[in-house]
Amino acid sequence: MNIEEIKARAEAAAVHEYDGITDLIYGRDVKALIAEMERLTKENEKLIESYKESNLEQATENYELEQKNAMLENDKINADMNLENLTAEVEGLNTINATLKKDKEFCLSTAKYNAEFYDDAKKEIATLKKALSDMLFAYQNKDGDCPHQFEIEAICEAKQLTHETQEVEK
């Protein structure tokens, strides 16, 4: 039963006759009740409308929050993917760095070896130059009958440089 049906039934019942006398007090009470019911109905409609508006506002706010949340979730997914990519890139760079470090160590050890070899070769060249100079001097001043000490030393030095082990005649 809706409001209009209740109102019609109440108005119809507002007038009662008891022994031919209309019950006016009862009719006034029913009419006051109907008026109060109409007032409460209007107030209820206002509350329903207000609820709908606030509910609409809340629904709108919830929708906006859901959209922001979805955007933040997408941002997080993108950030996670970027982090994974950066982590892989860092690992790759670390591998390259380790390889470069090994190559640097190899180059340094090779350079050190080459420097030592160069120093040794330089010393050997200096020794050879001196020996050649001594041998030239000994050859120019040789004495076939009695070799001088510097001649013997030059020949020994030459044999040592050429790795010969024969003994020199004194």
pLDDT, one tens digit per residue, over 111-168 is 999 999 999 999 988 888 887 887 777 777 777 777 778 777 777 877 777 776 555 4
Residue 110 lies in a domain: yes
Q: What angle do CA 94, 96, 99 make, to 5 degrees?
A: 110
Residue 135 lies in a domain: no
CB atoms within 10 A of CB 154: 24
Q: Which one, of 91, 89, 70, lies nearest residue 81 by Cα? A: 89
Tell me the pTM.
Answer: 0.38
Q: How many domains does the chain have?
A: 1
- Tell which wins on pLDDT, 103 or 57: 103
Residue 131 lies in a domain: no
Domain assignment of residue 27, given as a range: 3-122
Contact (CB, 8 A) for 9 and 33: no
Residue 75 lies in a domain: yes
Tokens 């008891």 belong to 18
Contact (CB, 8 A) for 148 and 138: yes
Residue 136 lies in a domain: no
Residue 96 lies in a domain: yes
Residue 118 lies in a domain: yes
Residue 139 lies in a domain: no
